[in-house]
Amino acid sequence: MSVGTRPKGRRATTPASRPPAASAYVSGAASVAVRPAIEAPRRPARVLAAFPLALYLEIRSEAEPHVVAVVTGEAVRLPNAVVLAERLDGVSAGDDAWVGEGSVEVGGVSICVRRWWDPAPPLGPADPTRLAPALGLLRRARAASPRRPGLDPDGAPALLERGCRAGSLVESITAAERLIGLGPGLTPSGDDMLAGLLVALRHLGAAAGVPRAVWLADWLAAAVTYDARTRTTPISATLLHCAARGEASPEVTGVLRGVAGHQPLEPAVHRLLRLGHTSGADLAWGVQIGLSAVLAHREGQ
């Protein structure tokens, strides 16, 4: 999912041996998903991509989160994001950065994290009578939207839905492994679909009292994150790790709250569908598959 339109040109850099001297200090609010990276000892990083509303920093670490997004309040608040009041200018892909000891340093600015926010807020109990109508509304909204998913519905997506509804680990994991890294972009369509599915299975399964769905989310999360870093983009791999823990952007969690009956669903679905070129549609497709599986397993209990 990109929150800008075009990366700025890359310029040649050399690895920094120490943090650059900061010329300015600003405060930021960070996701608890990146708290381990922010509070760890300071480590070097590099700018993977620079957009008008977001920067993506790759930390030189073997642990996740491997990528931290630095975004403005106008951008999508990704689950691995540090949110600023104003955009940072003059930063290009390939620039050096530093992350750790409570701050992010990039482009001559030191971002001090003062507040934390939760990318996986508790959903609360779901109203069982709303689940089936919510599935119908989600299907209709997706069908009517001009934003289309990035993948053909046949093949791996169809196998994924069939496997999740049946609770088949063989079919579900086989389909998930085919989808990792499938499609173009910073977050390929297959990854976005899997992210929506993982979050929906975990949150809606718990909210609706369907342990089989949470069990399926656990297995799929392990399979998807096992070698994600070698199979997809660094940004997408980190977002898959977030989704495996139930962490997502407010657009996704808003749809889940709507499905559970805690807020209007239709406006939330339309907000999600508007994300990116195909990311919103792919995420919504994954949420739909997850909700369909939760309903199937609830009826079978």
Compute φ and ψ for 63, nearest 5 degrees. -95, 155
Tell me: pLDDT of 4 over 50.
no
H helix count then E strand count, the chain: 11, 8
**Beta-sheet pairing, 67-72 with 54-59:** antiparallel
* pLDDT for res 30: 98
Q: pLDDT > 90: what percent of the chain?
A: 86
145-169 confidence digits (pLDDT tens): 999 999 999 999 999 999 999 999 9
Q: Determine the average pLDDT of the residues in 208-232.
A: 96
Residues facing residue 28 across a β-bridge: 113
Domain ranges of the chain: 24-117, 130-300
Does the predicted model carry a pTM greater than 0.75?
yes
Specify whether the backbone of 124 is left (phi greater than 0), alpha (psi in -120 to 50) or beta: left
* pLDDT for res 40: 95
* pLDDT for res 61: 84
- Please report where in the chains the tokens 């709303």 appear, as a residue: 130
Q: How many CB atoms are located within 10 Å of the residue 287 CB? A: 31
